[in-house]
Chains A and B, each alone.
Chain A
Amino acid sequence: MSIDQNTAAKVAKLARIKVEDDALPALASEFNNILGFIEQLNEVDVEGVEPMTSVTPQRLKRRVDEVTDGSQQDKVLANAPDAREGFFAVPKVVE
């Protein structure tokens, strides 16, 4: 599997990270190095092996479905780069 510049650009877009066009060849080459390393996994016989979902055998705990937290609008907004009138502010999303 070899990654070309178009694939690198697509991955950057999916990851929502801006990569300038002139940086794409280097990025694609790094991906290829890393994926080349990962390709070793193809040597392993995984026939009939279950993919791991939890490293320690445990059943996730259940809890009562009730409100335990809330009414902390100030704290929630305290670290926002742009908060106005009790909301997070972002560029216009809907035309």
Chain B
Amino acid sequence: MTDLNKLGLAEARDALRKGDITSVELTQACLIAIDGAEALNAYVHKTPEIALDRAKAADARLNAGDAPAMCGLPIGIKDLFCTKGVDSQAASNILKGFKPAYESTVTQNLSDAGAVMLGKLNMDEFAMGSSNESSAYGAAVNPWKREGDDTPLTPGGSSGGSAAAVAADLCLAATGTDTGGSIRQPAAFTGTVGIKPTYGRCSRWGVVSYASSLDQAGPMTKSVRDAAIMLEAMAGHDAKDSTSADLAVPNFEALLTGDIRGKKIGIPREYRVDGMPDSVERLWNEGAEMLKTAGAEIVDISLPHTKYALPAYYVIAPAEASSNLARYDGVRYGQRSALEAGDGITEMYEKSRAAGFGPEVQRRIMVGTYVLSAGFYDAYYNRARKVRTLIKKDFEDAFASGIDVILAPATPSAAFGLGEKASADPVEMYLMDIFTVTLNLAGLPGVALPVGTNSQGLPMGLQMIGKPWQEGDLLNAAYALEQSVGFVAKPQKWW
């Protein structure tokens, strides 16, 4: 078998169990692909020795007939996850050289399930960004290009390295995290599948915090089935994260029947925003038609506070970030700036943080500091939390009216060029998350999957939104859409 790195999780799992291939062969195919893809800047810390050790152990377990769910399957890990003894710097200079003495719960769960770690993947610094351009490693590059145009494109963000690596077959799947759209937007930009589970489904322990009430980890994969397999392996209650849910994790893959007859699919009218390209509107209509043909009922719904999700997010997320990132003080880990004679501890903090954090991270910390400061706490932070309550209620009302799943665009456009929005007002970049951020505020699960290509040949994704803890139903609806779409396009190799 050739090009083993091009397999998805399900296919590779089945081939491993039949004995057609070994995990070492599979892992080596990925490592070769990784070494040949420097131009994508997807992997920022490679771990080939760990990968081959785990692959050998996996092959032994497969031979012994003792193979757990992801035994021998090579995956990439977003740099936001702490991995024991392996650089974990959240794409920030302030954590340069940081090698955790512990493993995040999600990566431990994956390791326990037999998965093989290939290395750490690029991202926006501290997961703050929508284009991967705020990374201390430089931006990851989208393997897709516009037809007849050599402009390098963003893979999206913040999980841009994960998306690029999955799309370019530099792994079978990857972990991502999603605070405002950081799994779903890059998935949509790269023709891959990404699910942000219900808040609390995956443990946040050992995942570098951005905005703790919004952050969730999830899988980024080549198919909906693969997302189901990997989510089950990642999820579960963890005593070390008090917000992780003490609920049984279903066998998500077993719920993929593709039967959505009688399901009610909501189409939220507020997501039809001004200036939305025709291609997005067309894709959305096509998606709804396909679900209808599959037997679902399409219902127009209203989520009246949608417009206020982004401004609420840009109060709540920076507020939490300003608190979470206070820990980077140049004392316990990371970088400390050189001090001048007479500098005290305050200068040490100020210089280390100015040198260690990039501009977007500094901006968000300071906005958060401002909205939490005396006199503004009620006007900004409390008001945003009240709006958040209303946004969640919009969804509760829709689900209470009988809606099973909501269908919406994932992004307002296809992937844009690196640097195209660099000089812009930061707010313009924030608008990239307009369709994704509502779910984080409401704690709901959402999946992005490829549904077509635009006139320039770039992949376009739709997003499906589910009820809390109903990732199984959600993935099944996504599976039905995936079957109808039959998306098979892959980027032409140029790297």
Interface hits, B366-402 → A, CB 8 Å: 366-367, 369-371, 373, 380, 382-390, 392
Are A72 and B101 within 8 A (Cβ)? yes
- Please give, as numbers and ranges, the residues of chain B lying within 8 Å of A56 by CB-CB distance: 198-200, 243, 245, 443, 468
Residues of A contacting B: mostly: loop
Instruction: Give a binary string over B344-377; 1 marks a CB under 8 Å from any A CB, 0 the rest.
Output: 1111111101100100001101110111010000
What B residues does A12 contact at CB under 8 A?
Answer: 366
A44 to chain B, nearest CB (A): 5
Q: Which residues of A contact B310 (CB under 8 A)?
A: 37
Taken together as a complex, chains A and B put the C-alpha atoms of A58 and B97 apart, in Å, by 37
Q: Which residues of B contact A88 (CB under 8 A)?
A: 331-332
User: Which of A27, A55, A61, A90 makes the CB contact (< 8 A) with B246?
Assistant: A61
CB of A81 within 8 A of CB of B331, answer: yes
Cβ of B426 < 8 Å from any Cβ of A? yes
Please measure, in the bound complex, the distance between the C-alpha atom of A65 and the C-alpha atom of B366, giving whole angstroms. 36
Number of A-B contacts defined by CB within 8 Å: 166
**Is A11's CB under 8 angstroms from B370's CB?**
yes
Chain B interface residue count, Cβ-Cβ cutoff 8 angstroms? 73
CB proximity of B391 to chain A, nearest CB, Å? 9
Residues of the B chain whose Cβ atoms lie less than 8 Å from the Cβ of A54: 213, 243
In whole Å, how far is A84's beta carbon from the nearest beta carbon of chain B? Answer: 12
CA distance A90 to B311 in the complex (A): 39
Is A60 an interface residue, CB under 8 A from the partner?
Answer: yes
A88–B345 Cα distance when bound, in Å, is 13
CB–CB A17/B366 < 8 A: yes
Among candidates A43, A44, A63, A91, residue contacting B339 with C-beta atoms closer than 8 Å: A91
Interface set, chain A 10-58, CB cutoff 8 A to B: 11-19, 27, 30-31, 33-35, 37-44, 46, 49-56, 58
Chain B: minimal CB distance from A31 (Å):
7
For B323-344 the 0/1 string (1 means CB < 8 A from A) is: 0001001111111100100011
Contact of A49 among B99, B100, B386, B442 (CB under 8 A): B386
Complexed CA–CA distance, A50 and B389 (Å): 7
User: Please, how many angstroms separate the alpha-carbon atoms of A76 and B322 in the complex?
Assistant: 23
Which residues in B have their C-beta under 8 angstroms from that of A50?
Answer: 386, 389
Give every chain B residue within 8 A of A27 (Cβ-Cβ).
Answer: 366
Tell me how far the C-beta of B377 lies from the nearest C-beta in chain A, rounded to whole angstroms.
11
Nearest Cβ in chain A — how far from B412, in angstroms?
Answer: 16
- Bound form: Cα–Cα A16–B355 in Å: 12
Residue A85 at the B interface, CB < 8 A? Answer: no
User: Which of B345, B363, B389 meets A52, CB within 8 Å?
Assistant: B389
The chain A residues found within 8 Å of chain B, CB to CB, are: 3, 7-8, 11-19, 27, 30-31, 33-35, 37-44, 46, 49-56, 58, 60-61, 63, 72, 75-76, 78-82, 88, 90-93
